[in-house]
Amino acid sequence: MSAPERSEPLPAWSLPAGAEKNIELAVEWPAEVSREWAFGGSTGSGVRVCILDSGVEPNHPLVGPLADAVAVVRSPDGEITIEPDEEGDLCGHGTACAGIVRSLAPECELYSVRVLGAGYTGSGPILVAGLRYAIENGFDVVNMSLSTTKKDLAESLHELADLAYFQKTMLIASAHNLPVESFPWRFASVLSVGSHDRDEPLDFFYNPEPPVEFFARGVDIHVAWVQGSSLRCTGNSFATPHMTGICALVLGSHPELTPFQLKSVLYLTATNMIGSR
């Protein structure tokens, strides 16, 4: 469904009498939101997914082609720039995430933004620059299986997370199970993910006691790894691309959804929601 035609600009701060027609919703919501309505038959086609990670190995059998791959690099004088990524994956993790998303949403467009490899020192500003690049490029979903504990980055990340939320880019980030304060998963404008140990990739749970909002499959998952290899892995960082893939499916069916609406659909179709099947 396409967005409704608007004869006048949307009201910025108020809704004057008679202006209701200007905020008609683009999505016709059924009386009961089912998984079939939410993403039945979807392949993620038309959805642009960004993997913000260690890079992605292009053309891995479990990943397939990438639409584009860039690396955030730092010159010797400290300048941070975005360059075409010639090195691929420096760890294996980004390739694993891309493969999980591909397995769920086989026709989505996959993009890689590499924020690893320039050393630990200065990795915080590189993370912020990579996220800013992803938001400015208007990706529909950004997978962030990573976090930082640097408090001086929290404000920048928070601003970027809210910017993404209001311009229809869904940020999906791994929650921490360590006793430290970390970001950006704690921000309400981000969809945060922890792990469950079921085997079904489309099983996901809404957590009524945030800050962790959703639990997705994160245990003993067969994933793509570097140099065409594959292995099994466990962790919230692998649960996160499961939610990314599910979001790609929903947006493939309903591209007009805002992050607020997308979270609402996920809540209504969560495995622990009575009647979600």
Per CB under 8 A, residues contacting other proteins are 54, 90-93, 116-121, 123, 145-151, 174, 176-182, 195, 197, 218-220, 225-227, 229-237
Q: Is the peptide bond before 184 cis (omega within 30 degrees of 0)?
A: yes
CA gyration radius for the chain? 19
Query: How does strand 191-196 pair with strand 170-174?
Result: parallel
Residue 174, SS3 per DSSP: strand
Nearer to other proteins, 43 or 207 (CB): 207
Nearest CA among 166, 255, 144, 250 for reference residue 204:
250
CB of 196 to other proteins, least distance (A): 8
Question: What Å distances lie between residue 244 and 100, 189, 198, 220, 271, CA to CA?
Answer: 9, 15, 17, 18, 16
The sheet carrying 68-74 orders its strands as 80-84, 68-74, 109-114, 48-53, 141-144, 170-174, 191-196, 214-217, 204-206
CB of 15 to other proteins, least distance (A): 43
Nearer to other proteins, 235 or 255 (CB): 235
What the block records as the tokens of 80 is 């941070």
Nearer to other proteins, 81 or 234 (CB): 234
Nearer to other proteins, 33 or 193 (CB): 193
CB of 185 to other proteins, least distance (A): 10
What the block records as the tokens of 177 is 């199970």
E strand or H helix at 213? none
Are residues 48 and 140 in contact, defined by beta-carbon separation less than 8 angstroms? yes
What the block records as the tokens of 49 is 């997914």
Nearer to other proteins, 226 or 270 (CB): 226
CB of 173 to other proteins, least distance (A): 10
CB of 146 to other proteins, least distance (A): 4
CB of 93 to other proteins, least distance (A): 5
CB of 118 to other proteins, least distance (A): 6
Nearer to other proteins, 81 or 229 (CB): 229
Q: Give every CB contact of residue 46 below 8 A, 6+ residues apart in sequence.
A: 107, 108, 109, 252, 255
Nearer to other proteins, 62 or 262 (CB): 62
